[in-house]
Amino acid sequence: MAATWIKPVRAKNGKTTAQTFSDSLHYITNPAKTRNGELISTYGCDPRTAHTEFHLNKQDYDKSIGVAANKKDVLLYHMRISFKPGEITPEDAQKLCTEMVMRWTKGNHQFVVVTHDDKDHIHCHIMYNAVNIEADRKYKNFFWSTRALRRMSDIMCLENGLSVIKDPKPSRGSYADWLGKKKEPSSREQLEQITEKVLQQNPATFEDFIKLLEAEKCEFKRSRRSVRLPNKKGFLRLSGLSEDYTEDAIKERIAGVRSAPKRETATADVPAPVQTASIPKERKFNLLIDIQNSIKAQNSPGYERWSTLFNLKQAAKTLLFLQDNDLDDIEKLAEAAQKAKDDFNGLQTRIHAIDERLKEIPPMQKHIGTYVKTKDVYAEYKRRKFSKKFYAENAKAIDDCKAAKAFFDEQGLAKLPTINSLKQEFATLTTEKKKLYAGYSTTRNHMQEILMAQQNVQQLLDYRDEEIGRANDRDVR
C-alpha cells in the first residue's frame, strides 16, 4: 500500500471558493468510478451536499476571525492511497481508508472518502475540510506530512495483513509504471490477448475459433484443451485462464450470451476498445433536512435559508414521485416500502448464498481430485494392515487421502459429486450471480427512493401536527 501524497487545495484560477469545493469533490465522486456512488462515505456531512457544507463551514470560520477569504487560503486537503493489484477488495479499501483519515484528523474535520475501482489497482481519494467542524480552527499542514501519512498507512497495512512498499521513491510516471507494469506480460496474459484478438474476428463456432487461433501460430491440443503459444515450450490449459477466457466463456462469447470483459489489455496489434461508462440518472429527490434540530442551522442563518429552500424543492419532487407511482395514501406507501425492502433483501440474500457456495466448490474439487489420486494407495495401506514400512514409503499420499476423507466427513457428504458436476454448478451459479447483479442497482435505488419518500412524508406530517398543536395553543390562550 502506498500513500502517494497529501496535497493542499486552494482556489483555482478564475474560480470562486464555492466552485473549487464543488469541482474538487465532483472529480473524486465520479459515479462511473465509484459503482454509481456505492464506494463513497462521509463524516460530518452528507455526500450529496458535502461541497455546500464545506463552503458554509469556511464562511463561518472567516466570519468568526473577521478576515475575508483570499486566493491563498487552503480550502481542502487531498490524500490519495493506492493498493497493490489483487490484494484488497474495494469495500475493504474503503473501510481501511475511512479509519485512517479518522485517525489522521482525530474526528475534528468533515471528510469524504471514495474508492475508485476503474483501474487495475484499487485506490482511494480522501478530501477533508481545512476548517474544523466547529469552524473555529484550521488544519495546519507540516513538513514531511506525506512521510508521516505513509508511515501511518504502512502501520495500518501491516495490521491488516497487506503488503507495504519498502524504501518508496518518487515516481515521475504513473503508479502502474512504479509497480513495473511495463514488464512483458505473462504467458497467460499473452494467451488472453491473442484469444481476445481472435474473438474480435467473430468466429461462428468453436472450431472456427480454433482455426483462427492456429492462424496466429498457436497450437491447440484437443485432448487436453490446452494451447501452446508461438515460440513457447509448454501448453496452457484454457481452464487455467481468467473467467472471461475459459473454454465455456469463449463458447458463450461465440453464442452471443456473454459480453466482452469490461477492461481489455491493449496489444500491439489490437488496441483496447474504448469503454463508455454509463452515468447514472440523477436521484429524483433527497431526504429533507431537519432544520429545527440542526445545530448548524441554529448557528448559521445562511445555512438555514439554504436548507429551507432545499426542503421546499425536495418536498415538491417527493410529491411528483408519489403521484407518478400512484402512491396516494399512507397505507399504499407503507406497502410499497415493505415490498421494496423485501425484494432487495431477497436479492441480497440470494447473492450472499451464491457467494458462500462459490467459496465451497474449489476446496471440494481439490479434495475430490486428491482422493481420486490417492484412494488406491490408501486401500493398499489398509490391505497390508497399516504396515509401517508401506506408510513410510507412501506417507504423503496416505496423509492426503486421510485429509480428504476428513473434509468429506466434515461436510457430511454421503456420496461424492463429480468434478464435472461441480464445474457445471460453479458456471451456473456464476451466470446467475451476474444476472442478479444486473438488477441489483435498480432494485436498491428503487427501495431507497421509496424509503426516502416515506421518511419525507412522515417528516412533513410531523411538522404539520406540530404547527396545528401550536395554533391550538394560541387559540386556547
Q: Is residue 271 assigned to a domain?
A: no
Q: Is residue 262 assigned to a domain?
A: no
Closest CA to 12 of 4, 20, 23: 20
Q: 141 with 56, same domain?
A: yes
Closest CA to 131 of 45, 47, 48, 49: 45
Q: Is residue 285 assigned to a domain?
A: no
Q: 87 with 161, same domain?
A: yes
pLDDT for the residue 276: 33
In total, how many domains does the chain have?
A: 4
Q: Which of 153, 178, 203 is the last residue of a domain?
A: 178
CA angle 169, 171, 175 (to 5 degrees): 110
Q: 21 with 136, same domain?
A: yes
pLDDT for the residue 128: 95
User: Which residues, listed in sequence order, are joined to residue 74 by a DSSP beta bridge?
Assistant: 10
Dig out the grid coordinates for 63 from the structure. Answer: 466570519
Q: 235 with 332, same domain?
A: no
Q: 298 with 236, same domain?
A: no
Dig out the grid coordinates for 356 from the structure. Answer: 458462500
Q: Is residue 152 assigned to a domain?
A: yes
Dig out the grid coordinates for 424 from the structure. Answer: 457445471
Q: 339 with 229, same domain?
A: no
29 C-beta neighbours (distance < 10 Å), count: 21
Q: 387 with 454, same domain?
A: yes
Q: 311 with 350, same domain?
A: no
CB-based contacts of 402: which residues, under 8 Å, 6+ apart? 378
Q: 217 with 337, same domain?
A: no
Q: Which residues of 102-256 form beta strands (DSSP E)?
A: 111-116, 123-129, 219-221, 226-228, 236-237
Report pLDDT digits (tens) over 406-457: 999 888 888 888 988 988 998 899 888 888 888 887 888 888 888 888 888 8
> Looking at residue 144, which CATH number applies to its domain?
3.30.930
Q: Is residue 456 assigned to a domain?
A: yes
Q: 204 with 331, same domain?
A: no
Q: 399 with 417, same domain?
A: yes
Q: 370 with 299, same domain?
A: no
Rg (CA), the chain: 30
pTM assigned to the model: 0.40
**Percent of the chain predicted with pLDDT > 90:** 16
Q: Is residue 41 assigned to a domain?
A: yes
pLDDT for the residue 387: 92
234 C-beta neighbours (distance < 10 Å), count: 8
CA quadruple 138, 142, 147, 152: dihedral sign? negative
Per-residue model confidence as pLDDT tens for the chain (477 residues): 555 678 899 887 778 888 888 888 988 988 888 888 889 999 888 888 888 889 888 888 888 887 777 777 899 999 998 888 878 888 988 999 999 999 899 888 999 999 998 777 889 999 999 999 888 889 988 888 888 888 888 888 877 778 777 666 555 555 455 455 445 678 888 888 898 888 888 888 888 888 888 888 899 988 888 999 988 888 888 888 888 888 888 888 887 767 777 544 444 444 443 333 333 344 455 556 665 556 555 666 766 776 777 777 777 877 778 888 888 788 888 888 899 899 989 988 998 899 898 888 988 999 999 999 999 999 999 999 999 999 999 999 999 999 999 999 888 888 888 988 988 998 899 888 888 888 887 888 888 888 888 888 887 777 666 656 655 665 555
pLDDT for the residue 288: 62
**Domain span at residue 217?**
187-255
Dig out the grid coordinates for 408 from the structure. Answer: 468429506
pLDDT for the residue 442: 84
